Structure 1
Amino acid sequence: MKNLKTNNVSVFAKFKTLLLIVALSCFNSCDDNELPEAGSIPDLTPPSALFSASQGEGAGDEWKTVFFSNQSNSATSYSWDFGDGNMSTDFEPSNEYSGEGTYTVTLVARDNLGVESTFTDTVEVTQPPAPTVPDPTLINADFDKLPKSSGSDCSCSAWINKSLGDQGESSSGNGGSDNVVKFDNNEPDHVYQEFEVVPNADYTISVVVQFKSLVNNTPPMDAMFEIRVLSGSGYVSGYTPTYYTDSASFPQDDFGYTTIAQVEDAANNLLTETITNPSDDSYITYTYTFNAGNNTSVALFMRGIGGAATGNFGYNSGDEEIRADSVVITAN
């Protein structure tokens, strides 16, 4: 019996040893994913990727840029695919697209444990419509006989700049009385007015003009009518234009353009047109276009030319009287 008991104990001890060996073997060969690292904790706040997008605004190509707002949670790094071949790892990037279109944007957000979240959305890039450009405001564009800041009423009211010539005079024509401005025979008569424009906008100017018949029916017909649109960069240094609302408020001297040399400088001219005598004394509408360039203010200067230079201004209207009935400027 003693020997049996001893044998039983020996067998049991060997069995326990075998179990321990199996257990240790299993522990050493188990996959790391099946058993957590010592001291590790679960990822209780995995990342969540999310973004919103807004299109740029403003002049030029600013509309092509899309700005992305990152609304992800629990992430520490980001990978962006903007759908046009461009990538970024910035937190809140922007991307300039080549033009209009629908683009698929993908954001991958990661945390420090390497866990990823992906969010995909489309962005629509559209070119905004061109803003409506208002028509310029001209005062006394019909050349009516109105009050001016000093002196008697005149069809040239709101149109005087005595630094550039003599003021045009009141006359009657085209079915009305005191309703046109005339550029007299062999006088340096002119009209001048500044007005507000939108940079880079296109405009159309229409002027209704009449050339009177030849003086004593004797050639040559030398009178010509000149139209210039002058850029604001040619104003007298330090001058800020004021856009008056009535003819009596306009100054008559020492503002805007102050010399004929400035007027005739090609760099200051956005439009220069010369109308020759058509040998027709009816009122004819002449139409031209110009672009405002980078100006917010321009000046319209019209005068008679063709005669021999006289006086302080170096020009005159020639032999035939010229009359202007109206001027209209519209945005295209």
Structure 2
Amino acid sequence: MKIKLKHLKVYTWLFITSIMILISCQDDDLPEVGDLPDLTPPSANFVAIQKEGTNPEEDFKIYFLTNQSVSSTDYQWEIPDGVILLDLDADDDITPTLASENINLEFPGEGTFEVTLTSSDKLGKTSTITKSIEVIEPEKPDVPDPILVNSDFDKLPKSSGSDCTCSAWINKSIGDQGESSSGNGGSDNVVKFDNNEPDHLYQEFAVVPNADYTVEIVTSFKSPTGGSFPSMLELRVLAGSGYTSGYTPTYYTDTVEFPQDDFGYSSISQVEDTANNLLVEIQENPNNDDYITYSYTFNSGDNDSVALFIRGIGGPATGGGGGDFGYNSGDEEIRADSITITAINL
């Protein structure tokens, strides 16, 4: 009887031990109290939108990266070297970091760049996505040609005085007006720069900053007289930054609307200031009276407005047959038949 009881105790101990081992093995697989399985794990995603700004040369490099991750509470971005994290919201006191939900990036230029987003939830689950962002500089729109009024020097009305081929080209603060004349197969179709007079042409027009332009002018010189003061024709493109202080240019379309004095450039000292000149070219007498096309180029620099100033020079600074502006044409008459200014678009 004692032997059977001993066997029973052994069997009982083995049974209890087996149950405890079984329970112990299952503990790791049992959820904690109140714990639920992650039925909605995070899914990382984002979209990159290129900025549409007013400065195409720079704005094309800026992208807005908008987070579209699902079931996520925390975020971490990875960006390539050379890419800059931007803060474009001046009213937001929060400084953006690579742990922000959404970010704004400035890329160094054209190219393909990989950006990675890792999103996670509070259960420690993560999701990662990498996208290639192709940065392409948009094509620059063509620079329009400037608008000149009466560029063929037709005999037209002006704000006061008789009709003249110089209409729309007068600034009496810096020279005498040219006169109507005939030439190059027409009548009253050219402007004459009289010998020994300070005759000029002047007109302001709008330009695109930092753009290149070509100026073409068709002129004719009377045959040389052999005198002491051979005539020359001087052409200047004057920067709008040199206009009289406080002056705002107005681009008229009708010759009778153009002022004739007290606007734009108001003195020869302003005209001759090197800082105000974008182009200075001088034509000398070619020793024949043919109408010749001369071509020059200039860059507008920082200006959105410039003035074209043309005058006869070569004569004595004072005296002559006109006003006293510190210059005069020389011994021969000069005629201008037309002026054309075109933008250079490559």
TM-score (norm 2): 0.86
**What are the Cα deviations for residues 204-223 of structure 1, in whole angstroms up to 9, with x where unaligned?**
00001111112xx3234521
Instruction: Specify the SS of the correspondent of 1:61.
Output: helix
Per-residue deviation at 1:178? 0.5
1:259 aligns with 2:271: no
Instruction: Specify the SS of the correspondent of 2:315.
Output: coil
1:194 aligns with 2:190: no
Distance in 1 (alpha carbons) for counterparts of 2:301 and 2:19:
87
Distance in 1 (alpha carbons) for counterparts of 2:119 and 2:181:
79
Per-residue deviation at 1:174? 0.6
Distance in 2 (alpha carbons) for counterparts of 1:176 and 1:205:
23
Counterpart residue number, 2:77:
80
Query: Quick one: which of 316, 319, 324 aligns to 2:328?
Result: 316
Counterpart residue number, 2:90:
none
Per-residue deviation at 1:158? 0.4
Query: Quick one: which of 278, 288, 301 aligns to 1:293?
Result: 301
**What are the Cα deviations for residues 213-270 of structure 1, in whole angstroms up to 9, with x where unaligned?**
12xx323452111111111111112211111111111111111111111111111111
- Structure 2 vs 1, CA of residues 16 and 253 (structure 1 numbering), >3 Å: closer, same or farther? farther
Counterpart residue number, 2:31:
36
Alignment of 1:1-332 (within 5 A): 15=11, 18-28=14-24, 32=28, 34-57=29-52, 58-82=55-79, 88-214=98-224, 217-220=225-228, 222-310=230-318, 311-332=323-344
Per-residue deviation at 1:117? 1.4
Distance in 2 (alpha carbons) for counterparts of 1:324 and 1:85:
55
**What are the Cα deviations for residues 181-202 of structure 1, in whole angstroms up to 9, with x where unaligned?**
0111111111110101111111
Q: Contact between 2:229 and 2:315, CA under 8 Å: does it hold in 1?
A: no
- Structure 2 vs 1, CA of residues 111 and 254 (structure 1 numbering), >3 Å: closer, same or farther? same
TM-score (norm 1): 0.90
Q: Contact between 1:221 and 1:277, CA under 8 Å: does it hold in 2?
A: no
Unaligned runs of 5+ residues in structure 2 are 86-97
Aligned partner letter, 2:77: W
Distance in 2 (alpha carbons) for counterparts of 1:49 and 1:123:
16
- Structure 2 vs 1, CA of residues 299 and 38 (structure 1 numbering), >3 Å: closer, same or farther? same
Aligned partner letter, 1:69: T
- Structure 2 vs 1, CA of residues 42 and 181 (structure 1 numbering), >3 Å: closer, same or farther? same
Distance in 1 (alpha carbons) for counterparts of 2:265 and 2:27:
89
Distance in 1 (alpha carbons) for counterparts of 2:231 and 2:51:
54
RMSD: 2.3
Aligned partner letter, 1:150: S
Q: Contact between 1:158 and 1:247, CA under 8 Å: does it hold in 2?
A: yes
**What are the Cα deviations for residues 72-126 of structure 1, in whole angstroms up to 9, with x where unaligned?**
1221222223456759333222333333223333321111221111223322211
Distance in 2 (alpha carbons) for counterparts of 1:234 and 1:121:
51
Distance in 2 (alpha carbons) for counterparts of 1:16 and 1:131:
93
Identity %: 61
Which segment drifts farther, 130-139 or 16-25? 16-25
Distance in 2 (alpha carbons) for counterparts of 1:85 and 1:35:
49
Unaligned runs of 5+ residues in structure 1 are none
Aligned partner letter, 1:60: E
Per-residue deviation at 1:65? 2.6
Which segment drifts farther, 103-112 or 195-204? 103-112
Distance in 2 (alpha carbons) for counterparts of 1:80 and 1:297:
46
Distance in 2 (alpha carbons) for counterparts of 1:107 and 1:295:
44
- Structure 2 vs 1, CA of residues 85 and 152 (structure 1 numbering), >3 Å: closer, same or farther? closer
Distance in 1 (alpha carbons) for counterparts of 2:234 and 2:11:
121
Which segment drifts farther, 84-93 or 322-331? 84-93
Q: Contact between 1:84 and 1:103, CA under 8 Å: does it hold in 2?
A: no
Q: Contact between 1:84 and 1:97, CA under 8 Å: does it hold in 2?
A: no
